[in-house]
Amino acid sequence: MRNNVLIENYKGIEEIREYHFQQLQAQNQKLDSLTNLYAKAKESNSKELKVLESELISTQVWINNNRNLLENPLFQGALEQINSYIAEYSERNNLDLVLGSNLEGNIMYGRKELDITEEILEGLNKAYDN
């Protein structure tokens, strides 16, 4: 099974990827606005400078901490759904072992007819839709 194909095409992860992108985009827009406000407040020696500075720093920290999709708890939950579905599929089809290949090349050779990636992906996406 090709792990990267499952991760790239599973509808649950597609939704999480879109949600994650929207969250980062919103925070980047907030950061831009705060940066502009901070620059204006700095020029006028505004009393709001400390508050804006604090908000600016916390927004930058949030963006840095949430930039990586793989660390997102929603993404981890989707991976758990994939693993759970694979376990159910394996039991239903009396499989003793399912090998997954990744970009690191753990599997050097396998006959195409042994690749169950598309079957898993189809069933996983059907289960997600229900």
Residue 94: the pLDDT is 86
Where in the chain are the domains? 3-129
Q: What is the pLDDT of residue 122?
A: 94
CA–CA distance, 9 with 7 (Å, rounded to integer): 6
Q: What type of residue is 46?
A: S
**pLDDT at residue 124, rounded to an integer:** 93
Q: Cβ–Cβ contacts within 10 Å for residue 62, how many?
A: 15
Reported as a single tens digit per residue, the pLDDT across 69-112 is 767 788 888 888 988 898 888 888 888 878 877 655 566 455 67
pLDDT digits (tens, 9 = 90+) for 5-47: 888 899 998 988 898 899 999 999 999 999 998 888 888 877 7
Name the H helices within the chain.
3-9, 11-43, 49-66, 73-92, 117-129
- Please report the pLDDT score of residue 57 as a whole number: 92
pTM for the model:
0.65
pLDDT of residue 104: 59
Give the residue, 121 or 70, on which the prediction is more confident.
121
Q: How far apart are CA 91 and CA 65, in angstroms?
A: 38
**In the block, residue with structure tokens 């920290």:** 61
59, 30 Cβ separation under 8 angstroms: yes
Q: Give the separation between CA 47 and CA 31, rounded to whole angstroms.
A: 19
pLDDT digits (tens, 9 = 90+) for 60-69: 998 888 888 7
User: Which residues are registered as beta bridge partners of 101?
Assistant: 2
CA atoms within 13 A on the CB side of 93: 13
